[in-house]
Amino acid sequence: MPGRSILVLDDDPAVGQTIQWIAESLGFQAAFVSRPEDFFRLLDELSPEFITIDLVMPELDGVEIMRLLAGRKCTSKIIISSGMGTRVLDAAQRSASEHGLDIVGVISKPISKEALHLLVGDGRGSMPPVPEEEPKADADNFEVEKSGLQGALDRHEFELAYQPKIQCKSGAPAGFEALARWRHPDRGIIMPDRFIPIAEETGLIDELSAQVFDQSLEWFSNAFPLGELKLSLNISAKSLVDLHLVDSLFDLCRKYYLASDRIVLELTETSAMTDPILSLDLMTRFRVKGFQLSIDDFGTGFSSMVQLARLPFSEIKVDRSFVMNARQSQESRTIIKSVIDLGHSLGLVTTAEGVEDAETFDYLNGLGCDLAQGYLIARPMPGETARSWTEQRMAPSH
Ligand code: C2E
Ligand code: CA
Ligand code: CA
């Protein structure tokens, strides 16, 4: 199909036709089918940019259609339409994303022009706004190996990006989280999801953390030597076996003249703690020395609750998977609210990460969430820009 196109599958011709007309009135080339075999035939012929699929159909239902689409590695953007309640729509959306399909949203029937326009944009003009992407690693087939990682550590190829956190109520900056990036000489920027697990498996995580801590504390002490802003550092559960960890980080704070209560350690439960008793000791000592402790990705670890009860956390971070879905999913909103209430009843600072839209931000603020972090506020940025970002954000006009 030339231009922007939509293929509509709905067993009810009246509904299918209506969607087709709405799409055409938005400037799209639109085709409508009511039978699965016609759908798959047209799909091959037209390679449409968008597909809308009715969930409830007599022959193959929408979920089965999406399984077949996943098997064909379909790259069209998919919109699920249905008259069913949001719980079912949410589950269908989740299942489709887990199958690797590109779901752009769900619309409930009766379908309005506004709802469709919101999801697909304008057929003649531009695409709906797509957020600016992180630098993408040219490293898809690249195996991160121990030797490569050791070399990268030796050559100091790790850099840090800093992502702001703000106070929900006032909008004022609250601090930054340091996020590691590997600037590979040939492959460009490699993101942490690729190398942190390998560093953990190969025993290089402590050396990596040491470099990250030194670099970020040096940056932080230069950029914000005094004041209320905090620096959050990610710490792997695997590192909680090193008896010297607490003292070495405390010494580092002294080296850079930073008060330890300005440092927040975010503990992600990517791997089970090797030695639960030793980790408890270390975590307690961190608190005793003044550091803040945050339980990261809360709600995703299999024992988040146990860890929360056992370890002396001062902050709870609602996992971004719930926050990013808040707008579409009632379940996610319920979980967010419960985690924030739980955090507050335990006297913890509550942070939501992955805030991507203003509606979610307002929802969080309404719940009394303390801090927010996410693309809506700012993407991770180089250290040099963080200061001017902060100054701008503090300016009265903001
Ligand atoms: P995390 O601690 O949950 O960090 C937040 C991640 O979410 C970051 O990804 C950040 O770029 C991303 N993010 C922030 N706001 C948004 C948003 O609004 N939408 C979306 N879709 N994503 C958002 P990043 O930088 O790729 O880091 C991935 C993970 O790698 C981190 O997850 C953390 O667990 C780990 N990591 C990063 N740096 C370090 C490090 O120095 N040490 C250790 N141990 N782990 C690290
Ligand atoms: Ca984190
Ligand atoms: Ca997190």
**pLDDT digits (tens), the chain, 398 positions:** 457 899 999 999 889 999 999 999 999 999 999 999 999 999 999 899 999 999 888 888 888 898 899 999 999 999 988 877 666 777 778 778 888 899 888 888 788 888 888 888 877 654 454 443 444 444 445 677 777 899 999 999 999 999 999 999 999 999 999 999 999 988 899 999 999 999 998 999 999 999 999 999 999 999 999 999 999 999 998 888 888 899 999 999 999 999 999 999 999 865 566 677 788 888 899 998 999 999 999 988 766 788 888 889 999 999 999 999 999 999 999 999 999 999 999 999 999 999 999 999 999 999 999 999 999 999 999 999 999 999 999 876 66
Q: What is residue 61's predicted lDDT score, i.e. its pLDDT?
A: 85
Structure tokens at 203: 């025993």
Binding site membership of 354 for ligand 1 (Cβ less than 6 Å): yes
Q: How far apart are CA 278 and CA 336, in angstroms?
A: 31
Q: Which ligand is nearest to the CA of 323?
A: 1
Please name the residue whose Cα sits nearest to atom 33 of ligand 1: 234
Q: What is residue 276's predicted lDDT score, i.e. its pLDDT?
A: 75
Binding site membership of 191 for ligand 1 (Cβ less than 6 Å): yes
The maximal CA–CA distance of the chain, rounded, in angstroms, is 72
Task: Note the CATH number of domain 146-394.
Answer: 3.20.20.450
**DSSP 8-state symbol, 112:** -
Beta bridge partner(s), residue 33: 9
Binding site membership of 121 for ligand 1 (Cβ less than 6 Å): no
Q: Is-cis flag, bond preceding 110, omega within 30?
A: yes
Does domain 5-120 fall under CATH 3.40.50.2300? My reply is: yes
Backbone angles phi, psi at 332, to 5 degrees: -60, -40
Q: What is residue 329's predicted lDDT score, i.e. its pLDDT?
A: 93
Q: What is residue 96's predicted lDDT score, i.e. its pLDDT?
A: 82
Q: How far apart are CA 255 and CA 290, in angstroms?
A: 16
Binding site membership of 390 for ligand 1 (Cβ less than 6 Å): no
Predicted model pTM: 0.72
Please name the residue whose Cα sits nearest to atom 34 of ligand 1: 268
Please name the residue whose Cα sits nearest to atom 27 of ligand 1: 192
For residue 180, give the ligand 1 atom closest to its CA.
38
Q: What is residue 67's predicted lDDT score, i.e. its pLDDT?
A: 87
Which residue stretches of the chain are H helix? 13-25, 36-46, 62-71, 86-98, 113-120, 146-154, 192-202, 205-223, 245-255, 276-288, 304-310, 320-324, 330-345, 358-367, 383-394
Q: Which ligand is nearest to the CA of 294?
A: 2
Determine contact, residues 116/23, Cβ cutoff 8 Å: yes
Question: So where are the chain's domains?
Answer: 5-120, 146-394
